[in-house]
Structure formats: structure tokens, C-alpha cells
Amino acid sequence: SLVFTRPSRAAVASPDMGAGSAPPGMEVSIPAGLYGMAIAEPAHLDRKLDGKLVYYVEMVRVQSMLLLNYLVMCLFIFQIWAMDQRRQVAECAGRLLMLEIGCVFLFEVRMLIDVRKGVNIIWLLWGAPESAAEPTSGTLLGSPRRPKASAAKAGAVLAHEGAPEEESLIFRMYRGIRRSQNDSHEIQWKLDGISRNYRLWCLLSVGVPKLLVSFVLAYLGGLYIIRSPSDGAMVVSTASVVFVAEIEHLLYVAFTSDAMRYNLENMQPVKLPLNNRLRLAGWLVSSVLSPLLTMGIAVLVVYHARRSDCHDFTWTAQEIMSGFQPRLRGAVVH
């Protein structure tokens, strides 16, 4: 998600704020889900502070959950593709044309959310600041959260023998859900200082697969909706493919602790610079191009399916309005 930061009151009230002043920045938050957890949690695991057992178990668990998500998603996508090969458009006359476009459009809107999440992940990995601080020997990423000069003595999983910066991951998670509002020493998760190798790994294991799965599901799911045997089945098919898109969220909520979700969902966003050109481009893409492109994709998928299954179908006003005629006649009778 994107959050625009407000300028300070002093900057707003200052009469000297001119063309040379920096405009407000933009905060990119990591998505709360399996994809965000696969990026953020390894960045905060430490072999020394969390213990080797917790470190390796969590590493394996996070990657296993991510792999499980991909396997289940690919299983459903393959099944949808197989059913698409066996089915055809139920009615070529055009009676269900508007319902087809409406259902496919709503499904593509849902998939647009996943595409934007994938783009935000790539943007976040690209814009996360690098740190010149010397990495801690026990961390995977070399995060500067714990300077090497601070010799941490809290090596036990639930130990609390040092400053908050020296606590283990499990204890930090525990404190996250029990801290008071006046606790100023609470350490907030952040991605500052991640290495280039880790950025590349997250890009190849999270960002790119996320986009590929979303694009394939958006296309095959649209065909699956159109080739439903009836209007009632078409509505059910729309809910079915939306359910497939929600698999990642279901796995995240079911198999992630409340403390882990709290830390991930309250993670410090990455601040990116923002100028008027980017502001205009963001408005144009989100508010103008996205609705038009989503509707265009829905119409294109419907057109492709009907041209493949109904060779005599033509896009005429009579064919399009034929979907409204039975409903209009029923309204007149009643």
C-alpha cells in the first residue's frame, strides 16, 4: 500500500518554501501476507540472539509456506486450465453477454489488487535504503538494527537481559502484542540495510512469481467464468476463482501467529522520494488508466472466448442488447 506523508507544520508555515524545497515523500508499506512475511521475517532473524534452532526452523518454515502457496495456486490454476479445455461458451446468442462482461470485470478488478501488490513489492525492494553500517555477524541480511559494537548477551530465545535492540525475535514478537502505548523502546520492523543479494533473492522468489501467478490466473479465470454452463453457474464460477486468488491470505492467517502478524502489519514503511511528475503519473495510472484497462481486459477476454467458441458471433448492438430484453419484458409484465 502507498501512503503519502504530510509535510511538517514548520514547512507548511514557512514563507521561504519555494521551488528548491523537497516535496512530501511517499511511504510504501510491505504487503501483510505470506509474501511480505517471506521478505520481512528473515531480515529480523538472528542466529546469535534468537538461537540456531529458532533461526533455522523459521527459515525453513517461511520458505516452506511460500512454496506451499505456489504449489496450491499452481494446482488450482492447472485444474482451471484443464476445465477450460473441456468447456465452451454455453450460449452464443448473446443473452448472457452483459453478465459475462460484468463477472469477468469484477474478477479482473480483484486480480488488479494482486498485480499492484506485486508491483509494490518490486518497488519496495528497489527503494529500500542501503546502510553503510557494518553488518551483524549473526544476521542474514546485515541489517544495521543492531550495531556490531553492542555485544549482545541475550542469546536465549526468550531472554530479556539487554536493551530492546538486543532481544531475540521471539521475545520481540511477544512484546509486540503486550506493549503499552507509552513504551517508547519498542523496536519496529523495517527493511533498512538489506543487502543487494537479498533484494535479488526476494525479487526472484517473491516479486516475479507473484506477478506471473496473478497474470496467468487473471486470464484463465476469466475464461473459466465465461464458459460456465448457465447464468447461475457463472456467478458461482466468479466466486470460485476469487477464492483461488485468496489462497495466500488464507494460509497467512491460518498458519501465522498473532504476534508475527502484528509485527508485520505494523512494520515501518519504506520512504521514497516523490515529485510532481511521479504524483501525476500515479494519479493517471490509478484513477484513469486502471479502470479503463481493467474494463478493456474484461471485454478482450470475453471477445477472445466467444470468437474461439462461437464462430458466427458478431459484436452488434442487437447482440449486446439481447441480454437486457428478457429482463425488460419481465419487468413490464410485473
The pLDDT, as a whole number, for residue 275 is 80
Which of 154 and 48 is assigned the larger pLDDT? Answer: 48
Share of the chain above pLDDT 70, in %: 69
CA-to-CA dists, residue 18 to 5, 56, 274, angstroms: 19, 52, 16
The pLDDT, as a whole number, for residue 52 is 82
> Residue written as cell 540495510?
193
Query: What are phi and psi for residue 143, nearest 5 degrees?
Result: -70, 140
How many CB atoms sit inside 10 A of residue 54's CB?
18
The pLDDT, as a whole number, for residue 11 is 44
**Terminal-residue alpha carbon distance, the chain:** 47
Which of 176 and 258 is assigned the larger pLDDT? Answer: 258
Quickly state the pLDDT bin for 74 (edges 50, 70, 90). very high
Half-sphere exposure of 169 (CA within 13 A, CB side): 25
Mean predicted confidence (pLDDT) in 175-183: 50
Global model pTM greater than 0.85: no
Mean predicted confidence (pLDDT) in 35-49: 85
Q: What is the pLDDT of residues 237-288, one digit of tens each?
A: 999 999 999 999 999 999 988 888 888 888 888 887 778 888 888 889 888 9
State the Cα–Cα distance between residues 238 and 305, nearest whole angstrom.
16
The answer to whether 208 and 125 have CB atoms below 8 angstroms apart is no
Nearest to 202 by CA among 112, 261, 128: 128
The pLDDT, as a whole number, for residue 132 is 52
Query: What are phi and psi for residue 17, nearest 5 degrees?
Result: -75, 105
How many CB atoms sit inside 10 A of residue 13's CB?
9
Mean predicted confidence (pLDDT) in 8-24: 46
How many CB atoms sit inside 10 A of residue 231's CB?
15
State the Cα–Cα distance between residues 318 and 284, nearest whole angstrom.
34
The pLDDT, as a whole number, for residue 17 is 45
Nearest to 99 by CA among 220, 218, 219, 225: 225
